[in-house]
Amino acid sequence: MKILLTSLLFAPSIGGIETVSMLLAREFVAAGHSVKVATMTPGDDGASYDFEVLRKPSFAQLAQAARWCDVYFQNNISVPLAAPLLIVRRPWFICHQTWILEPHGFSGLNHRLKLFLLRFAHSISISRAIAAALPVKSELIPNPYDANLFHVHDSIARSEDLVALGRLVSDKGFDFLIEALALLAKEGCKPKLTIIGEGPEKEALIRQARDLRVADQITFLGAMTGTKLAEELNRHRIAVIPSRWKEPFGIVALEAIACGCVAVGSQEGGLSDAIGPCGLTFPNGDVQALAAALSRFLKTPGLLLQYRQHAEEHLRKHHPSAIANHYLKMFEDVG
C-alpha cells in the first residue's frame, strides 16, 4: 500500500501531532508499506528517515504525491494539504487530533469549511470526547506513545514526588497545581514538585510560588526531550496534568505512565482516556479536588502500586504497532 501522510506539523518541530505522525510513518514502513509525508514544517533536522518528506510542497508536488498514493491520510485536517483531492480521487482519511470547533463553540469560516469537508472523508477520533464533538461518525483510534523511548528504568531510583511537564501557558493549568501545593502545605503535606517545560508564563509561576510560600518545594528544569525526559520521569512517583482547557487526548500521560508514574489529570476532554485506570482525574480547574487527589496518593503510598498494576495492559493498547495496525486495517477495509 502507498500511503501519503499529511501532517501540518512534523519534525524537527516538537509536539503531540509531530510525535504521532512520526510514529505512524515508521510503523507503516515497518509493516511493509510505502510512505510519503507532506508537511508545512520547514527545515531539515539532519535526520534520515525510511520515507520521503515533502516540506512546504507546492500544489503540483502534492498533486503528484496524491496520484502516487493509494491512501490519502491526514493526521489532523488541513484544508491546504487536502487541496489535491479536488482533482485526484483517493480514499481520504482524517485523524482528528484536536477540536474543529473549540469547546466553547467558536465557529469561523475555516471551521465551517472543515466541517463541510468531513462528509467526503473517513474520520478517526483520538478520544471519546473528540468523537462526541464531531458531526459525523468516526472510528475511535487512540494515540500511540514512543514505547522505545518511554519505559521503566530499573536502575533509576524513584526518589521524587510530583512531576508536571508541558508548555508553560495558562491553558495547561500549572497555576492550579501551585495553588494545590499551597493547600497541601496547610495540612502539613509538602511534596516536592518538578516542572519541566518553557513558556511565557514561567516568570508568573515563579512569582506565584514565591507569594504562596511554596517556592522551596518547586524545581523548574526547563524544556527536556528524548532520553533525558524519560529518565527524569523515571525519578518521579506521580505525574500531574492539571490542564485548564479540555485536552483532546494527552500523550504526556501515556509517556509518564510508561515510565512508572501514576497520573493525576483533568477529567474533561480526552485526557481521562489517556490516563485510563492508571491514575485519578479531577474536574478541570477545581483546585480543591486536585489537592485531594494528590493528598490521597501522597498519604497512602500503597495506592500507587494498585494503580501501577494496570499500566501494562493500558499501554499495550497504545503501543505504536497496535495503533498502526488499527489504521492499516481501516485503510484496507475501506480500500
Residue 109 pLDDT class (50, 70, 90 cuts)? confident
Q: With bands split at pLDDT 50, 70 and 90, how would you rate the model's confidence at 110?
A: confident
Is the pLDDT reported for residue 46 higher than 90? no
Distance CA 304, CA 34 (A): 43
For residues 197 and 270, membership in a common domain is answered with yes
Same domain, 305 and 164: yes
Quickly tell me which residue has 501557558 as its cell: 169
DSSP calls for 229-296: HHHHHHTEEEEEE--SS-BS--HHHHHHHHTTPEEEEE-SBTHHHHHTTSEEEE-TT-HHHHHHHHHH
For residue 335, what pLDDT band results from cuts at 50, 70 and 90?
Answer: low
Domain count, the chain: 2
Neighbours of 292 (CB within 10 A): 15
Is 218 in the same domain as 250? Answer: yes
- Cα-only R_g, the chain: 21
Instruction: Point out the least confidently predicted range of 7-11, 41-45, 248-252.
Output: 41-45
Residue 334: the pLDDT is 87
Question: In the prediction, which pLDDT does 301 show?
Answer: 87
- Burial pattern 259-281, b for ≥16 Cβ within 10 A else e, equals bbbbbbbbebbbbbbbbbebbbb
Quickly state the pLDDT bin for 45 (edges 50, 70, 90). low
Residue 150 lies inside a defined structural domain of this protein: no
In what side-by-side order are the strands of the sheet with 2-6?
52-55, 34-39, 2-6, 71-75, 92-96, 122-125, 138-140
Grid cell in block for residue 31:
509493516
d(CA 259, CA 228): 12
Contact 232, 196 (CB under 8 A): yes
Task: Compute the Cα dihedral for 75, 80, 84, 86 and give only its sign.
Answer: positive
Q: What is the pTM of this model?
A: 0.94
Query: Are 267 and 290 part of one and the same domain?
Result: yes
Determine contact, residues 283/267, Cβ cutoff 8 Å.
yes
Which residues is 196 bridged to in the sheet? Answer: 165, 222
- pLDDT of residue 203 exceeding 80, the answer is yes
Q: What average pLDDT does the segment 93-99 reach?
A: 97
Q: Do residues 177 and 126 share a domain?
A: no
Residue 110 falls inside a structural domain: yes
| Domain boundaries, position 40 | 2-144+319-334
Beta strands in the chain (DSSP E): 2-6, 34-39, 52-55, 71-75, 92-96, 122-125, 138-140, 160-165, 193-196, 218-222, 236-241, 262-266, 279-282
Same domain, 96 and 166: no
Share of the chain above pLDDT 70, in %: 97
Condensed to tens digits (0 to 9), the pLDDT of residues 220-245 reads 999 999 999 999 999 999 999 999 99
**Rounded to 5°, angle at Cα 232 from 231 and 236:** 115
Give residue 102's pLDDT: 58
Burial of 102 (0-12, 13-18, 19+ CB in 10 A): middle
> Is residue 182 assigned to a domain?
yes
**Within a domain: 263:** yes
Would the pLDDT of 107 be above 60?
no
Q: What is the pLDDT of residue 112?
A: 85
Q: Determine the Cα–Cα distance for residues 175 and 209; give it in Å rounded to an integer.
A: 9
Asked whether residue 153 is domain-assigned, the answer is no
Same structural domain for residues 42 and 176? no
Question: How many residues are present in the chain?
Answer: 335
Domain annotation covers residue 154? no
Cβ of 4: how many Cβ atoms within 10 Å? 25
Do 174 and 304 belong to one domain?
A: yes
Q: Are 193 and 294 a contacting pair, CB within 8 Å?
A: no
Evaluate if residue 44 carries a pLDDT over 80.
Answer: no
pLDDT at residue 12, as a whole number? 92
Average pLDDT of span 298-321: 96
User: Given the DSSP bridges, would you call strands 262-266 and 236-241 parallel, antiparallel or unpaired?
Assistant: parallel
Task: Classify residue 198: in a domain, yes or no.
Answer: yes
CATH number, residue 200: 3.40.50.2000
Mean pLDDT score of the chain, rounded to an integer? Answer: 95
Task: Give the single-character DSSP code of 176.
Answer: H
Same-domain check for residues 33 and 177: no
- Residue at 223 is within a domain: yes
Residue 104 clears pLDDT 80, i.e. is over it: no
Return the minimum-mean-pLDDT range out of 66-75, 93-102, 289-298: 93-102
- Angle, helices 226-234/251-258, rounded to nearest 10 degrees: 60
Q: Highest mean pLDDT: which of 41-50, 112-121, 251-260?
A: 251-260
Say if residue 13 is in the same domain as residue 92: yes
Residues 57 and 192 both lie in one domain: no
At 47, is the pLDDT very low, low, confident or very high (cuts 50, 70, 90)? confident
Do residues 165 and 135 both lie within one domain?
A: no
